[in-house]
Amino acid sequence: MPVVTARGLVRTFGAGRAARRVLDGTSLDVEAGEIVAVLGRSGSGKSTLLHVLGGLDRPEAGVVEVAGQRVTGVGERQLSALRRRHIGFVFQFFHLLPELTGEGNVLLAGRVRGAHPEAAARGRALVDRLGLRGVAGSLPHQLSGGEQQRFAIARALVNDPALLLADEPTGNLDVEAGAAVLALLRELAAEGRAIVIVTHEASAAGIADRVLRLEAGRLVPA
């Protein structure tokens, strides 16, 4: 059974003549251990697709299931619990809280209600595993882009999600740091996670098991 299943997703922005349907019957399955890269021109709806898969945005039509649970058509409380337990997000701009240290950002994700009971220990172990112990006490502005992104990935993994959604995860990194992050994502997939990467970079698409393109609201083989 796929970790994430999406069927017939529809999402429109604007109204009347200005309306633009960025998802128009989009469907996708991603298995455990699989990396799927989604390419597409700027504004094609790639990030919207990721947000709908992760329950950050609601489609007008269609169904999404993650780890056997409905994402679409459920209440906000149930959706929040599902995101905490099963979905990790990694963004291009890291979204680390500036007043917390790198490790503090990671551990914060384990303090929310419903977090994995071993989240704190897992967070510290992830900081060590990702080679960040030496800068764990630094604030985000004191870290390199690659370090910030690795902390962001550690934060996304604190609750051991089945699905990792990555929106342009190497977009703000230099070539070396980007390559390290991509190697890490490949490792994480090998542990049995499903990973969806939205990207415009050939290097990021290169680590994927499947590469799809979002065109006219539908996913097609790239």
Distance, CA of 154 to CA of 222 (rounded, Å): 30
Q: Residue 101 carries which DSSP code?
A: -
SS3 category, 102: helix
SS3 category, 179: helix
Q: How many CB atoms lie within 10 A of CB 42?
A: 7
| 81 phi and psi angles, rounded to 5 deg | -65, -40
pLDDT tens string 72-107: 989 888 888 898 889 999 988 888 999 999 999 999
Distance, CA of 114 to CA of 3 (rounded, Å): 21
Q: Which amino acid is at 92?
A: Q
Spacing of C-alpha 40 from chain mean position: 17
Domains assigned to the chain: 32-58+75-221 (3.40.50.300)
Q: What pLDDT, on the 0 to 100 scale, is given for residue 176? A: 86
At residue 164's C-alpha, the angle toward residues 159 and 170, to 5°, is 120
Indicate the pLDDT class of residue 114, thresholds 50, 70 and 90.
Answer: low
Contact status, residue 63 vs residue 2, Cβ threshold 8 Å: no
Q: What pLDDT, on the 0 to 100 scale, is given for residue 14? A: 81
Contact status, residue 96 vs residue 152, Cβ threshold 8 Å: yes
pLDDT tens string 21-62: 899 999 999 999 999 999 988 878 899 999 999 999 999 999
Burial group, residue 49, by CB count within 10 angstroms (0-12, 13-18, 19+): buried
Q: What is the mean pLDDT of residues 182-196?
A: 93
What share of the chain in percent tops pLDDT 90? 60
SS3 category, 98: coil
The pTM for the full model equals: 0.91
